[in-house]
Structure 1
Amino acid sequence: LMPPPHVIIQKGFTSTTLAELLPALGQTALVAGTGLALSIVIGIGWAIAMAQAGWVRRSLYPYAVVLQCIPVLALVPLIGFWFGYDFSARAIACVMVALFPMVSNTLFGLQSVQPNHREMFRIQKASRATTLLKLELPTALPAILAGMRISAG
């Protein structure tokens, strides 16, 4: 039923097979990298929007949870029907897998700002943008990087 391991290794790493596998490896890496980059951008933006307004968090966070709960394999035929089975459909599937860790970790990091620090920015009459850029995002950076590490898997 199955050939011995030395035959698999011999046939798997011959020059003809390796020449066929390397372009496929490049395409897979490109799709995975594109999906990861899109999920980082979308996830951080989504989490910032949820951290800035409570009503946005209450209305959008359930969609993030639903996105995580639905198996991607159940959605792949639907994605294939809508977008085909080319690069864009594969990138969308990668985004669906990697988006929730980015959203949840970034939101956790943005909400973990010390109340004293936030109060200091309020006393100094800092704008929301200044508070976000100079307090919340630097504080959330370890959580954002952890989300990137989890999403990269």
Structure 2
Amino acid sequence: MKTLRDALAPLAALVILLALWETVARVFSISPIVLPPPSAIGLDASHAADSLLSGALSTGRSALVGFGLSAGVGVLAAIVLSSSRVLERALYPYALFLQMVPIIAIAPVLVVWFGHGARAVAVASFIVSVFPVIANTHTGMRSVDPALRDMFRLYGARRLATLWKLELPASLPHLFTGLRVASGLSVVGAIVGEWVAGVVEGDVGLGILVLAANRQGNTARVFAAVLTASALGLMLFGAVSLTGERLLRRWHPSASGS
């Protein structure tokens, strides 16, 4: 019942927004090339449902690979950075560099290194989404209560035991915050990667659909593909959020329902 109540407000806002959009587009006779009404977008999406679904599956596979890489590499990088102040000072600027890289500019280089297709797209997704995982996990590990560190030290806990039993559990709320951000960014990175990496063996992702529709002047199809990509990101975000809530609800206030 609570879930239904929580969903009513955003659903009501969505209905009002779509109604206003439809009204403005029709009353002011806005060209569908500039701003198609929601009804036209929905009609086009129904006609192109098969290609949108196929594109979502293609983009989703690359985004999942990129997201998985960002989760694994991001946590490992945060552990390395947190293990030594010297390593943190030496390596953190390079982790920050990943956040500053204009992915659209280096995507052609990724194609040279990894070839056209899914591998280059997945790497682009990884590069865009890894930094939030590194930064948030590192912050969580550095934010452990000093008194708890002293207690572990007092009882002679080894470094690995402190990492496994104190630092990583304490960093989980921060880690899942980073994963939630990374989940959306992984889809963005995959779309941008597809713009450059192109199509291999007929595997057409949502990024390619956006480019093709834009060249044809089919703005409704552009909106339909973008909304499908947004839905893909929301699904990944929701899966990460649900996992985090289930893991943290019993012991951390960030996951409480109050």
1:48-67 pair list within 5 angstroms: 48-67=79-98
> Does residue 1:11 correspond to 2:38, yes or no?
no
- Give secondary structure in 2 for the equivalent of 1:126: coil
- Give secondary structure in 2 for the equivalent of 1:85: coil
In the other structure, the counterpart of 2:67 is: 36
In the other structure, the counterpart of 2:175 is: 144
The percentage of counterpart residues that share the same residue type is 38
Partner Cα separation in structure 2 for residue 121 and residue 78 of structure 1: 47
1:133-152 deviations in Å (ceiling 9; x for gaps): 11111111100010001111
In the other structure, the counterpart of 1:134 is: 165
- Give secondary structure in 1 for the equivalent of 2:141: helix
Amino acid at match of 1:12: A
Structure 1 gaps, min length 5:
none
Amino acid at match of 2:171: A
Q: 1:22 Cα shift?
A: 1.5
Aligned length: 151
Partner Cα separation in structure 1 for residue 41 and residue 155 of structure 2: 68
For structure 1, which segment, 108-117 or 51-60, has the greater mean C-alpha deviation from structure 2 after superposition? 51-60
1:52-131 pair list within 5 angstroms: 52-131=83-162
Partner Cα separation in structure 2 for residue 125 and residue 113 of structure 1: 18
1:102-128 deviations in Å (ceiling 9; x for gaps): 000000000001111000000000000
Structure 2 gaps, min length 5:
1-30, 185-258
User: Are the equivalent residues in 1 in contact too, given 2:45–2:52 (CA < 8 A)?
Assistant: no
Segments of 4+ in structure 1 off by > 6 A? none
Partner Cα separation in structure 2 for residue 150 and residue 8 of structure 1: 28
**Residue number among 51, 54, 60 corresponding to 1:23 in the alignment:** 54
In the other structure, the counterpart of 2:216 is: none
- Give secondary structure in 2 for the equivalent of 1:135: helix
Amino acid at match of 1:114: D
Q: 1:33 Cα shift?
A: 1.0
In the other structure, the counterpart of 1:47 is: 78
Q: What TM-score, normalized by structure 1, do the two folds share? A: 0.91
Partner Cα separation in structure 2 for residue 9 and residue 142 of structure 1: 38
Q: 1:8 Cα shift?
A: 4.7
Q: Give the aligned CA root-mean-square deviation in angstroms.
A: 1.5
Amino acid at match of 2:46: F
